[in-house]
Structure 1
Amino acid sequence: MLTMEMLQDAQTALRGIARRTPLDPARGLGENVYIKAENLQLTGAFKLRGAYNKIRSLSPEEAARGVIACSAGNHAQGIAWSATKLGIKSIICMPAGAPISKVEATRGYGAEVVLVPGVYDDAAKEAERLTKEQGYTFAHPFNDPLVIAGQGTIGLEILEQLPDVEQIVVPIGGGGLISGIAFAVKHLKPSCRIIGVQAAKAASMYLSLHSGGPTELRSVATIADGIAVKKPGDLTFALCQQYVDEVVTVSEDEIASAILALMEGQKTVAEGAGATPVAACMFGKVDTTSKKTVCVVSGGNVDVTTLSRVITKGLSKSGRLVELTTKVADKPGSLLQMLQLVSQSGANILTINHAREDRNSEVGACIVSMVLETRNSDHVAAIQEALTAAGYPLLHNA
């Protein structure tokens, strides 16, 4: 049973442990948009709050048995850090595909890591098995009142930092973060809208709320690995059903664009899950024109190799990187003429491939594929129009 007293108790316990993260305007995203930067939290994500609140509440007998948890990375780090600080052994089951940076960080905080093939839900099953077999104390990442109370302290902070906030946009995986925030905010300021955001390829809470009960997806696949959860908890579902006003979804390209926008506009790094509220605002899933809106950027633990791919995807989505394929006559000077046209358009050629023997080319023609650095989508359209008008047909775009 979750109560406001539990949230206030958690807030007191977290003083000197969790950072009071900044809440700043994000003018580049809109006049009414603010960022609650939980990516600047200790361990790089909000999960420390709920993890510490859970671990510090264990009985001596529970602590003595050691703690086990399942996580895609952020809860893992929160549990590992909290358990080590309190002198408790921790074992973390993580999906084998979790970012290497999160796996190594979890080990660095003192936990024993067990990598499990599959996604979060598979790691959860292995953690349950080990709990029964070894007698560990299980710390659920979201379906636990103490964990939810810890996450709810973010809601208390937002109301203290921006009392006139009118809507808060929050990522949803299993639902622990939004449950805590929504519970806190709706009790203290019922008029404030709470909007959840999920990756379209991992929209378990969205589907569950529309279905009327916790519903399990067959599979999830998203760059927002921190919210790649097949099924929400029964407790978090009930809280979302009662306190959350709306849940929307965002695409992979939209998430990538939001990560890029945060890097360029806010000078901050967000992981896929943390960027979903910003994606929802950027692409019109949430109306920010008339309401003071806080986007909870929940974490910043993104693998460098993943970040590189995400930046490329974000550049493509925003029209600043485009791949064009066309054909030119197979005779001297033809390629140069086409390249001069591209140069005159103001685009920068990053890579080019000229194939005389492509199976799709005609006799007397060559296939040319280019990756161009461009200004925006309008610039891309102008280049495409110029090429077509000059007799260079576009075979496919990427």
Structure 2
Amino acid sequence: MRETRLDTARIRAARRVIDPIFLDTPLYRGEALEPVLGCTVSIKLETANPVRSFKARGTEMVASLLADGDSRAVVCASAGNLGQALAWSGRGRSLDTTVVASRFATAAKLDRIRALGATLELVDGDHELARERAADIARYEGIRLVEDSLDIETCEGAATIGLELVDAAPSFDAVLIALGGGALATGVGHVMKDLAPDVEVICVQPLGAPAMTLSWRGRHVVTTESADTIADGVAGRRPIPAVLDDLLLVADDAVLVQEASIIAGMRLLLDHAGLVVEPSAALGIAAILEDRERFAGRHVVTIVCGSNVDMDAYHRWAGAARLPAGP
């Protein structure tokens, strides 16, 4: 029997470490969405904070540990959101923060990393190449490498979202979670299975970046040669074995959705909830759109996990969005 790396007591303790500005985020019924989706939908909104994503729940944990230690430098690879979060958490604790990213990452995310005072290094490749470069920097300079999802602090910080869902005395019976590296899915999934085991944990990933979903389905790590999706925040190709082991213990299902459904989900969140979101944050809505029959009559929560999006691209996507045909 596999054992998880996550611990509910540590997750509860994390709430005393994370800056309150990132905690107790809004949870509310998205009633205007419901006639279109055919089910009851609640939104857990993780965008109303200084870095506009859930990632700082984890980086606050990492930065607090470093602030109490001898090393004052840290490096990570990021598609954008982790880098912003680590830059914000590091700035508040006088840490020397370096972020490695693909030069093809969303420009708005890169600009914000710079604005938060981090050193930004760009690589001519995708996120996996950025991960390799960040590991090299950590090794050569002898500084702390933060690896999203592998570092348990990133998972247990994200897991505090699950505590807030449970504390809301949930009437929902499923939670839809964007799946990329796995920190959000394993963290929230762990809390659900420990404290609200009747809630179905459904992970959602783009069809064009399916590595973790394929790994979950096969129960072993599956890597892919490429990732082709607008949802850059979840576009990994090489799942981390320890994270997959955690995910196998908590996920009830992992589904893949098409790009058209992601775009339609973004448009629905704009038109019916007044929310501008990045593609990764619309994955839950996309999953409902592609399988309305599965969710009909149910109450689901979708975690809207980020709103750092290139606005030019957003206007193109939102303007072109069309709802997929129902079953």
Q: TM-score, normalised by structure 2?
A: 0.93
Q: What is the aligned partner in structure 2 of residue 333 from structure 1?
A: none
Q: What is the aligned partner in structure 2 of residue 53 from structure 1?
A: 61
Correspondences of 1:100-115 after superposition (within 5 Å) = 100-115=107-122
The DSSP-based 3-state class of the residue aligned with 1:261 is: helix
Matched, 1:33 2:41: yes
The DSSP-based 3-state class of the residue aligned with 1:305 is: helix
Deviations 1:169-225 (A, max 9, x none): 000001110000001111001111100000000011111112221211100011101
Compared with structure 1, are the counterparts of its residues 198 and 283 closer, same or farther at alpha carbon in structure 2 (3 Å cutoff)?
A: same
User: Which amino acid in 2 is paired with 1:26?
Assistant: G
Matched, 1:7 2:11: yes
Q: What is the aligned partner in structure 2 of residue 318 from structure 1?
A: 323
Deviations 1:143-182 (A, max 9, x none): 1111100000000111122422211000000111000000
The DSSP-based 3-state class of the residue aligned with 2:20 is: coil
Distance of 1:281 and 1:227 partners within structure 2 = 18
Larger RCO: 1 or 2 (CA < 8 Å, sep 6+)? 2
Q: 1:74·1:102 contact (CA, 8 Å) conserved in 2?
A: yes
Q: 1:6·1:146 contact (CA, 8 Å) conserved in 2?
A: no
The DSSP-based 3-state class of the residue aligned with 1:178 is: helix
Q: 2:21·2:49 contact (CA, 8 Å) conserved in 1?
A: no
Distance of 2:71 and 2:297 partners within structure 1 = 49
The DSSP-based 3-state class of the residue aligned with 1:90 is: strand
Q: What is the aligned partner in structure 2 of residue 369 from structure 1?
A: none
Q: Which moved more, 1:230-239 or 1:121-130?
A: 230-239
Q: What is the aligned partner in structure 1 of residue 52 from structure 2?
A: 44
The DSSP-based 3-state class of the residue aligned with 1:248 is: strand
Distance of 2:232 and 2:312 partners within structure 1 = 14
Q: 1:62·1:137 contact (CA, 8 Å) conserved in 2?
A: no
User: Which amino acid in 1 is paired with 2:12?
Assistant: Q
Q: 2:19·2:60 contact (CA, 8 Å) conserved in 1?
A: no
Distance of 2:71 and 2:50 partners within structure 1 = 22
Q: Percent identity?
A: 27
Distance of 2:244 and 2:218 partners within structure 1 = 11
The DSSP-based 3-state class of the residue aligned with 1:13 is: coil
RMSD in angstroms over aligned alpha carbons?
Answer: 1.6
Matched, 1:18 2:22: yes
User: Which amino acid in 1 is paired with 2:131?
Assistant: A
Quote the offset at 1:306 in angstroms.
1.4
Higher radius of gyration, 1 or 2:
1
Q: What is the aligned length?
A: 317
Compared with structure 1, are the counterparts of its residues 218 and 50 closer, same or farther at alpha carbon in structure 2 (3 Å cutoff)?
A: same
Distance of 1:161 and 1:12 partners within structure 2 = 19
Give the gaps of 5 or more residues in structure 2. Answer: none
Q: 2:77·2:134 contact (CA, 8 Å) conserved in 1?
A: yes
The DSSP-based 3-state class of the residue aligned with 2:104 is: coil
Correspondences of 1:1-398 after superposition (within 5 Å) = 1-30=5-34, 31-58=39-66, 60-61=68-69, 63-64=71-72, 66-284=73-291, 287-314=294-321, 317-318=322-323
